[in-house]
Amino acid sequence: MHEAWLGMMLWALSLWSGLAVAEGYRMRPRQLRALREALVRMETEIVYGRTALEEIFRRLAAGTSGPLAGFFAEVAEAIAGGTDDLAPAFRQAVERHFPRAHLGREEQAAVSALAEVLGRTDGASQIRHLRLALSALEALEARAREEEARYGRLARAFGFLFGLFLLVLFL
């Protein structure tokens, strides 16, 4: 009897693990889309609004949700705190919030490159780097959508089937 309960618990755990992995595949393209939209808004603020960086990041934090909102809010706080060099605070915020948004090293690298130019160079240079980051994120989003279609179902099915295997093994 205990083996049956253990098998059921392992099946549930395996199913939950498969669903969690599939959720990561599902959320990554959505987070990339939200990040791209936020960077487009940043570009608009720099070009047309001539808005201060702190205010831009506050607006982006208010306009996004989840880990990305935390990222933008943390960068805004670093600027408000009077940091002399935005780059380390920006990178630290990327490293802290991007994994929770299911964004990997490639996404982190694309956005971290902005740390060197935001607030340090003229508007044209900032816009050029923003557009480079946007094009990189667009390619990463397309790849993430392909991975979601390919591996999302696979992760769910594998979790279910592996759990079923464990259940049969313990019965």
Per-residue pLDDT of the chain (171 residues; tens, 9 = 90+): 677 788 788 888 888 998 899 999 999 999 999 999 999 999 998 888 788 888 999 999 999 998 999 999 999 998 888 777 788 888 999 999 999 988 989 999 999 988 888 878 787 888 999 999 999 999 999 999 999 999 988 898 888 888 888 778 777
* pLDDT for res 1: 63
pLDDT at 118 (0 to 100): 85
pLDDT of residue 138: 96
The pLDDT of residue 41? 94
Can you spell out the DSSP letters for 29-85? HHHHHHHHHHHHHHHHIIIII---HHHHHHHHHHH--THHHHHHHHHHHHHHTT-S-
**Which residue, 157, 165, 163, is CA-closest to 10?**
163
Q: Residue 145: its pLDDT value, please?
A: 95
Nearest-angstrom CA–CA distance, 144 and 151: 10
pLDDT at 142: 96
Residue 83's pLDDT is 74
**Overall number of domains in the chain:** 1
Which residues in 153-163 are b (16+ Cβ under 10 Å) and which e? eebbebbeebb
CA dist 149 and 130 (Å) reads 28
Residues spanned by the domain of 158: 2-170
